[in-house]
Chains A and B, each alone.
Chain A
Amino acid sequence: MPENPLPETAPTTTARPLRLGVAGPVGVGKSSLIATVCRALATELEIGVITNDIYTDEDARFLRSAGVLEPERIRAVETGACPHTAIRDDVTANLLAAEDLAADFAPLDLVVIESGGDNLTATFSPALVDAQIFVLDVAGGGDVARKGGPGIGRADLLVVNKTDLAPHVGVDVERMVADASAAREGRAVIALSRTDESSVAALRAWVLDVLAAYRSGAHVAQDPGPMAPHFHADEDGGVLHSHADGDHAHSHADDHDVVAR
């Protein structure tokens, strides 16, 4: 083994900041949610943010202009037009940026990594983040939560965003949250509006809870998996399985109901 301490590999101890991913389709309010988190926690936590814009550094500039963090603490990485790859199949650019932020502003408590808006199958690899939030919004339609997918089903937290718009888009927020909770088998769901202080307080409390669990060593990074649990029909009656359970011993070459990337 090399004798020198190496900056390329951050120690896998709780000494480094919690890395929190924020994923979800385009336009659901991921940047706005991150600004809300920063605003709610900037006085008590040292925070850095990495954005994964697809075409521009628009998200990074939005967050800088929101004035919730020093501009230097918000960095954009390029994804080569593959936002999905950058958070899952090859996390190198994000990992290096997270290490740089942690080194440049030590000691940081929290590094938030915003995925470039992608489809419902995009989730973060546990090689990059310790916990992840998947974001939907009411304007995307009340049925999206029922459609499921790895982020909706198994991200550490599902946020149903822009609840203040619900009356204008004909969505029943309670029912959307109930659908989401059912799809998530009880995992955390927050109905959020940045203008609803109690919902912001719930988000703030969730982040602090995860941070405390991470620091105590009680938090274990979960991989929502690249795919939803799904049914395989066969002569024995079929089997429902999840890709998070380590059962990969079959091919999806013939599947038509799954989008791999």
Chain B
Amino acid sequence: MPTPPPATTRSAERTAPAPGTVALLLADARLPGGGHAHSASLEPALLGGLPVDDVPAWMAGRATTVSLVEAGTAVVTAHVLTTGGAHGLDAVARAWAARTPSGALRDAARLLGRGYLRVARTLWADHHAVAAAAGLAVRHGSVPRAVVLGAVAAACGLGPADLVRLTVYDDAQTAASALLKLEPLDPLVPARWVLDACAAAEPHVARVAACTTPDDIPSSGAPLTEGWAEAHALTQQRLFRA
């Protein structure tokens, strides 16, 4: 006869996973959220003429500009949902859109947002933060990925600094993974570039993690990336959505 499970097992089943574990889940490319069809702007950049040798510097550039816009949006979303009401999300989404001038990149981020929302609604179905992001999707017809990330952070208790690091890492790793589909190279080489990009963002983590209002969200842009994204959206030869 099997031994009955000890009482501690039963109570452990009701315990939430550590927020850091949820961050690992969200950063894992095996999570079915639709991310595998995206290149974090790398395919548009290469098509636009970025030399492969410049990719590491380009990744560090993203980690200190557009990734911080995404990270700040997620941080403010989590703050709004943790401290106030869901009504504040509209302003967060507007602030994000104002800082993401390329329509192609906004569309791609909203597509990712729908995929992430499917994940979030499945895994945190009862949490008000996820319901608030879903409500925004109904009102606006879509919700950007960064807002869903912020809602998940609020739902699982992920702190703002780790949320910034998660956002930066996910962007860098997405580009690194896409690079292996686009250029021949040793798969371990871009792993170093991911760590370098994350290191480049580290001096900015505290500043972005401290954001509490939509106005606080960084507005650091990357105009060349935005132009490449617009051109890429019109091509007929794409491996990746954006």
0/1 interface trace, chain A 107-141, chain B, CB 8 Å (1 if under)? 00000000000000000000000000000000000
A8-B117, A93-B241, A96-B114 in contact; A82/B36 too (CB < 8 A)? yes
A4 contacts across to B, CB distance below 8 A: 134-135, 138
Closest 5 CB pairs of A and B: A92-B34, A90-B32, A2-B131, A92-B115, A81-B181
A91 contacts across to B, CB distance below 8 A: 32
A78–B239 touching, CB < 8 Å = yes
A80 contacts across to B, CB distance below 8 A: 36-39, 178, 181, 239-241
Q: Is A246 an interface residue (CB 8 A)?
A: no
B236–A78 touching, CB < 8 Å = no
Separation of A3 and B132 alpha carbons in the complex (Å): 10
Which B residues contact A (CB, under 8 angstroms)? 30, 32-39, 111, 114-115, 117-118, 121, 125-126, 130-131, 134-135, 137-138, 178, 181, 236-241
Separation of A54 and B182 alpha carbons in the complex (Å): 12
B135 contacts across to A, CB distance below 8 A: 2-4
Chain A interface secondary structure, helix, strand, loop or mixed? loop
B121–A92 touching, CB < 8 Å = no
Q: Is A1 an interface residue (CB 8 A)?
A: yes
A8-B134, A9-B118 in contact; A57/B36 too (CB < 8 A)? no
A85–B115 touching, CB < 8 Å = no
Chain B interface secondary structure, helix, strand, loop or mixed? helix
B32 contacts across to A, CB distance below 8 A: 89-92
B36 contacts across to A, CB distance below 8 A: 79-80, 82, 85-86, 90
B126 contacts across to A, CB distance below 8 A: 1
Name A90's contact: one of B33, B114, B117, B137 (CB within 8 Å).
B33
B114 contacts across to A, CB distance below 8 A: 8, 92, 96
B239–A81 touching, CB < 8 Å = yes
Q: Which residue of B lies closest to A90 (CB)?
A: B32
Separation of A80 and B112 alpha carbons in the complex (Å): 14
Q: Is A240 an interface residue (CB 8 A)?
A: no
CB distance from B33 to the nearest CB of A (A): 6
Q: Which residue of B lies closest to A125 (CB)?
A: B32
A79 contacts across to B, CB distance below 8 A: 36-37, 239
B238 contacts across to A, CB distance below 8 A: 56-57, 78
Besides the known contacts A4-B135, A89-B32, A93-B111, 16 further A-B residue pairs in the complex with CB atoms under 8 A apart: A2-B121, A2-B134, A8-B121, A9-B118, A57-B238, A79-B36, A79-B239, A80-B36, A80-B181, A81-B239, A86-B36, A90-B33, A92-B32, A92-B118, A93-B34, A96-B34
